[in-house]
Structure 1
């Protein structure tokens, strides 16, 4: 069971126009850029402002340039057109070859949801470089992810020295001890779904905190779950340790996520 979108690419546009072979040479040959991934339903996105803030902050850091939010929204709308309401959309930002503004590539695939069956994670000794940026060129994530799949797992769980847990290869991870959700305090990408859930959990009677979590701590937790742009799912196994599905926990998380408003692109 892999977390994948519909593999069929419906559209690829560069700066608001169908991508040319010349333009596609940049992402094919240069692994320097960043992106955000979102699920679109009826032309709307959860946490749109967070996606735009992520893109702008990473553009400033990587290219010392600003990214106009309206320009991004225009390019997404254009790529969706009048005929696609539900989709998996990615917005990539690449550096300029000249003094012009950075380039924006938008890809549109079929809509996707997180597989609901309990996920199996394999701990690996790897952490993403510059983890706070959702950057392209994730060789290490792909390498360890494929190794995990060969061993019968769904995804790699990235860890640092001493078994400190950071994040899933393409997800954030949360741990539940029966009363409180713990998000790992470690260098990791702050996913949009995590950012939408975290401030809303306390209001649902589910307090959360940030704290260091090590592999050795796993037996102290009752349930584990993962999040990404496709949604939320339980974790049933990490290495040889199994976890029951926290039915009430997953129900609460789903209810909280459903309260997040959809923003018009």
Structure 2
């Protein structure tokens, strides 16, 4: 009896730092392979707010991590493992409220799976964010459906926007089609529903939660059509904030809209981190 060839994903080339002697500020690094993974820029992450040991949309975060790990590394990432590592990090940091991130890097995990890093920091302030002024830039993230590392392009444009007096960069195509903010999703209010740009972008967890709880549609949005909207807002894991302007197009802050959006988000029940 004969069988066909077994398909195997091609192995990633070894990092040139994997067996190197690595120092940080003159001190040898205890785990050069970990340093190599961190410096590779190849990986992905998710960011969340923890309140009382619970996370809104935790299941969506776990699905994001698992899907990206399968796509980038060819291995699943069980949600139970992520929750155990996150719960442990929160406990050791002595926090039940926190800004937390879970990073996945290739290799080093159980059975050759992803290596997971967790960061725990002070929580973001609750409540509405300050109005944001956005500067449009001709730039789209590679593989935009992934919350991946190596975000030099969006960081470059975001910092340039801030130096120019704006709060955030708005990423657009060469034809002026709006995609997303450098670190946010953006939506525009037409009076009866939110319009989320349909250009390729990362569907953030906050965006995903609001899409199912507020009248919403995804369709193309262009810079030359922005003046037809009544208001705009941005979302990410840290804030939901009104948009005051995109370039020279100004938007009024619609307090009624923002209260409606925040009420919809507040109504989302957090899921417990602890397994």
Give yes or no for TM over 0.5: yes
CA distance in structure 1 between the partners assigned to 2:255 and 2:204 by the alignment: 23
Report what 1:15 is aligned to.
none
1:102, distance to aligned residue in structure 2 (A): 1.3
Where do 1:197-236 residues align within 5 Å? Answer: 197-201=210-214, 207-236=215-244
1:161, distance to aligned residue in structure 2 (A): 2.3
Conservation of the 8 A alpha-carbon contact between 2:128 and 2:262? no
Report what 2:54 is aligned to.
44
**Which of 35, 40, 48 is the aligned partner of 1:30?**
40
1:242, distance to aligned residue in structure 2 (A): 1.1
1:81 aligns with 2:91: yes
1:160 aligns with 2:190: no
Where do 1:60-139 residues align within 5 Å? Answer: 60-81=70-91, 83-96=94-107, 100-113=112-125, 116-139=129-152
Structure 1 window deviating more from structure 2 (131-140 vs 100-109): it is 100-109
- Between Structure 1 and Structure 2, whose CA radius of gyration is higher? 2
CA distance in structure 1 between the partners assigned to 2:104 and 2:85 by the alignment: 12
1:90-127 per-position Cα deviation (integer Å, ceiling 9, x unaligned): 00001115962211000111101376221010000000
CA distance in structure 2 between the partners assigned to 1:118 and 1:111 by the alignment: 20
1:192, distance to aligned residue in structure 2 (A): 0.1
The structure with the largest strand share of the pair is 1
Conservation of the 8 A alpha-carbon contact between 2:198 and 2:220? yes
1:24, distance to aligned residue in structure 2 (A): 4.5
Secondary structure in 1 matching 2:224: helix
Where do 1:167-186 residues align within 5 Å? Answer: 167-186=180-199
Conservation of the 8 A alpha-carbon contact between 2:176 and 2:222? yes
Report what 1:244 is aligned to.
252
TM-score by length of 1: 0.88
1:28, distance to aligned residue in structure 2 (A): 3.6
Report what 2:204 is aligned to.
191
Report what 2:15 is aligned to.
none
Aligned pairs, number? 242
Structure 1 window deviating more from structure 2 (127-136 vs 173-182): it is 173-182
1:22, distance to aligned residue in structure 2 (A): 3.7
Q: Which consecutive residues of structure 2, in runs of 5 or more, have no partner in the other structure?
A: 1-28
Where do 1:244-263 residues align within 5 Å? Answer: 244-263=252-271
Cα root mean square deviation, aligned: 1.7
CA distance in structure 2 between the partners assigned to 1:20 and 1:247 by the alignment: 52
Change (3 A) 1:208 1:115: closer
Secondary structure in 2 matching 1:132: coil
CA distance in structure 1 between the partners assigned to 2:201 and 2:221 by the alignment: 13
1:21, distance to aligned residue in structure 2 (A): 5.1
CA distance in structure 1 between the partners assigned to 2:233 and 2:154 by the alignment: 19
